[in-house]
Structure 1
Amino acid sequence: MERELALEFARVTEAAALASARWVGKGDKEGADDAAVTAMRVMFDTVSVDGTVVIGEGEMDEAPMLYIGERVGIGVPPEVDIAVDPLEGTNLVAKGLNGAIAVLAASPRGSLLHAPDMYMDKIAVGAECRGRVHLEAPVKENLRQVAKALDKLISEVTVVILDRPRHQQLIEEVRQAGARIKLITDGDVSPGVAAAYQDSGVDILMGIGGAPEGVITAAALKCLGGDFQARLWPEDDTEIARCHEMGITNVNKIFTMDELAKSDDVIFVATGITDSFLLKGVRYFKRRAVTQTLVMRSTSGTIRHIEAHHDLDKKPLFKDHRIKLLGE
């Protein structure tokens, strides 16, 4: 993929972030999500790519999704797989909480796993811990390995876990091992990626979250040289059948990062909506807004943090109300 695409994709996530940030704290996650999806679609129509959405918005949220199989871009080469979450953390935006981002990953056609929209058990770490953790290893052993790799005591290791009843045993095991825990209410892409940043305050992500988000996290960690393992977590026979329909015959298989994102050519882009482990959220001034975007390419290893200042009166997407803003 051409390097220029990375900046084009940054415009896509910036648009989604700007659109959904207007809904922060308004208690309407559907409105926020619809704004993000609409803005992302409009901006994709300007990108010189022949893209197919292989990871779309979560049906779990009954969202106005960018659906799996949807074509995006203007239809010219290169042919790429696109994994998107226009608003990762719909509840976070609705409640005005930290951690919401607009995010996408792209890779050559056929290289991103077409993950069904269900749960996935995950473990994510940074480059120093690569090869040291395993999804089936005891929690204490994984934490011991992370501490050793980072030259820390286990009591100094920080684990991010979604605050869900299904994680009660995991939480107890982490506490018994002596590690620190940061519980989050929603949105595990940001902390999963943050595990690869030394100054993020996150050393490892563990637990069960969305499978689509798992593939996006794997793509990001591939750019950062981190490590990621995952296993699908179907809840019933219908979801097992869904796995089979998508070509995943062994639902107990542990997927490595390189199986979730097969190509060495991956682009990952995320824009903050509210403040997160990775990025500042959208900040508003007098008819202007400031966004912070993370752009990464695996082929070059380049990591860019882009702070963009937007004149909202000069953006057709907002000026002519092509998206619904502030309930208008």
Structure 2
Amino acid sequence: MKRDLAMAFSRVTEGAALAGYKWLGRGDKNAADGAAVEVMRTLLNKTDISGEIVIGEGEIDDAPMLYIGEQVGIGGDEVDIAVDPIEGTRMTAMGQSNALAVLAAGEKGSFLKAPDMYMEKLVVGPGAKGVIDLGKPLKENLENVAKALNKPLDTLVVITLAKPRHDKVIAEMQAMGVRVFAVPDGDVAASILTCMPDSEVDMMYCIGGAPEGVVSAAVIRALDGDMHGRLLPRHEVKGDTEENRIYGSAELQRCEEMGVKANVVLKMEDMARSDNVVFSATGITKGDLLEGISRQGNIATTETLLIRGRCRTIRRIKSTHYLERKDPEVRDIIL
């Protein structure tokens, strides 16, 4: 994959973030997501790639999406793309922190192809690489990570999502003396924090979306961390109701069609098969990882985290955008 594609992908997430920002605090997460999707699709289709969306976002909450199998680009390198046009649609709609536009790209065959469903995730940084096993109890994983990091268990920091489905594991971890940071949404950013030298986060555990899981696997591999995942049908996550079982059965059928299995531990290398990847994330709202967009009239400032896996280069890019100078098909959405 050509080196200059990294900057092209950063422009894609910048555009998606600017589109989502227009809907900041307006209470309509699907409108925000739809705008980001439209701009991301438009910009990908102007990029010198022969790209395929191998994992997209949207089916879980009936939002718009870049669909799995969609072809993008004007021709060039064959590239697989995993996207989450807005990670944190609810946070964008409510004006909360940590909303991002994210994209991971790699050479063909780089990423797991899976339905848009739930995934259980366990992520650590380089210091605990090789010691996690999602097939073992959480308590054992916590003890192994603490041992690998040479830290007492009561100084270990785990980040998770503040969801009712995590209440039991949060209580379990706190009973062990572990410090738990529970954030409303945003497990891609939470995963990356495990690998940032200036972060106090040691581990991320949650049940979230599979698209975010594949994107996380790509960037965690690029940062030399470690991750395990496990696909879960909706009725095992949201409750065994008739509606959830119908959704879950459809997800399991799609897993079979796509050649993947639910309830099986996936290692990082199963989800991101190459380190020749590019990861780009642009902040929509201010968060732990990135600054949010600042806009005064038709001038906006963005911050983007751009990571190239093969050379392990990490860039933070501050950009100023004169919005009225954007291409018409983008300008009409972001203004």
* TM-score normalised over the length of structure 2: 0.92
Aligned partner letter, 2:257: E
Contact 2:18 2:284 in 1 (8 A): yes
1:56 matched residue in structure 2: 56
For the pair 1:237 / 2:236, whether they are aligned, the reply is no
Match of 1:301 in 2: 312
1:143 Cα deviation (Å)?
2.0
Task: Return the alpha-carbon distance in structure 2 between the equivalents of residues 284 and 148 of structure 1.
Answer: 46
After superposition, residues 67-146 of structure 1 pair within 5 angstroms as: 67-74=67-74, 76-146=75-145
Q: 3-state DSSP class of the match of 1:114?
A: coil
C-alpha distance after superposition, 1:49-74 (max 9, x if no partner): 00000111221121111111111111
Deviations 1:135-186, CA, capped at 9 Å, x for gaps: 1233233223323333433222221112222222211211111111111222
- For residues 232-287 of structure 1, the C-alpha deviation after alignment (integer angstroms, 9 at most, x for no partner) is 11133332222111111x42321111110112311111101112221111111342
Alignment deviations for residues 197-229 of structure 1 (CA, whole Å, 9 cap, x no partner): 132342211121111110110001011000000
- Unaligned ranges ≥5, structure 2: 236-247
Superposed displacement of residue 292, structure 1: 0.6
- 2:238 corresponds to which residue? none
306 and 317 in structure 1: CA distance in 2 versus 1, 3 angstrom threshold: farther
Please tell me whether residue 32 in structure 1 is matched to residue 32 in structure 2.
yes
CA 1:320 to 1:13, structure 2 compared with 1: closer, same or farther past 3 Å?
Answer: closer
Q: In the alignment, what sits opposite 2:196?
A: 197
Find the aligned partners of 2:315 and 2:102 in 1 and give their Cα distance: 15
- How many Å apart are 1:324 and its aligned residue? 6.2
- Residue 272 in 1 paired to residue 283 in 2? yes
Do the aligned partners of residues 268 and 196 (structure 1) sit closer, same or farther apart at CA in structure 2, a change above 3 Å counting? same
The 5 A counterparts of 1:121-200 are 121-200=120-199
* Farther-moved stretch of structure 1 (56-65 vs 77-86): 56-65
| 1:301-320 aligned within 5 A | 301-317=312-328, 320=331
Retained in 2: the 8 A contact 1:39–1:317? no
- Which residue in 2 is equivalent to 1:18? 18
CA contact (8 A) 2:13 2:85 kept: yes
Return the alpha-carbon distance in structure 2 between the equivalents of residues 111 and 146 of structure 1: 28
Instruction: Tell me, yes or no, if the aligned pair for 1:269 and 1:296 is still in contact at 8 Å.
Output: yes
TM-score (norm 1): 0.94
- Tell me if the contact between 2:39 and 2:330 (Cα under 8 Å) persists in the aligned partners: no
Instruction: Output the CA distance in 2 between the equivalents of 1:177 and 1:168.
Output: 14
CA distance in 1: counterparts of 2:92 and 2:328, whole angstroms: 21
Shift in Å, 1:317: 4.5
Which range moved further: 142-151 or 37-46? 142-151
Q: Which moved more, 1:55-64 or 1:78-87?
A: 55-64
1:27 partner letter = G
Preserved CA contact (<8 Å) 1:115 1:215: no
Aligned-residue identity in percent? 48
Q: How many residues align?
A: 322
In 2, Cα distance between the equivalents of 1:144 and 1:252? 23
| Counterpart for residue 268 of structure 2 | 257
Distance 1:151 1:46, change over 3 A: same
Residue of structure 2 aligned with 1:288, choices 299, 308, 311: 299
Q: CA deviation at 1:318?
A: 7.5
Distance 1:87 1:216, change over 3 A: same
Give the letter aligned to residue 293 of structure 1. T
Structure 1 SS opposite 2:60 = helix
Measure, in 2, the Cα distance between the counterparts of 1:14 and 1:79. Answer: 22
Letter in 2 for 1:218: A
Superposed CA offset, 1:82-128 (max 9, x none):
10111111100011111110000111112211121111111011111
Contact 2:111/2:214 (CA < 8 Å) preserved in 1?
yes
Q: Are 1:170 and 1:207, in contact at CA under 8 Å, matched by a contact in 2?
A: no
- Alpha-carbon deviation of 1:17? 0.5
Letter in 2 for 1:10: S
Q: Distance in 2 between matches of 1:311 and 1:320?
A: 10
Alpha carbons of structure 1 residues 320 and 182: separation in structure 2 relative to 1, 3 Å = closer
